[in-house]
Amino acid sequence: MVEGGDSGDLLGGEGEMEYANENPEYEAELPTIMKDPRWPAEDGWKKMEMEINGVEIRYVCNTYTGEVAYFKFKDRMD
């Protein structure tokens, strides 16, 4: 698992974080309430998940501003 950054060339040159930002229709909200003080739920932060080419990408997204942060990557092929 890679946290907080890009995990490589999974999309043939297009970065996973960029893909997640540009394709929100493929994301799913995780059923949890944000408790991390860096991303408070009351300010619109939610945990999101997306799978790309067998790689699970989890991140936090502000539903008010569209800002995304803190990406985690896990290769489901392992």
**47 CB-contact burial (10 Å; exposed 0-12 / middle 13-18 / buried 19+):** buried
Predicted model pTM? 0.67
pLDDT of residue 41: 94
Range of the domain at 34: 2-75
Average per-residue pLDDT in the chain?
A: 76
The number of folded domains in the chain is 1
Model pLDDT for residues 11-65, shown as the tens digit of each residue? 443 476 677 777 777 788 899 888 899 999 999 999 999 887 778 888 888 989 9
Q: How far apart are CA 27 and CA 21, in angstroms?
A: 10
Q: What are phi and psi of 26, to 5 degrees?
A: -95, 0
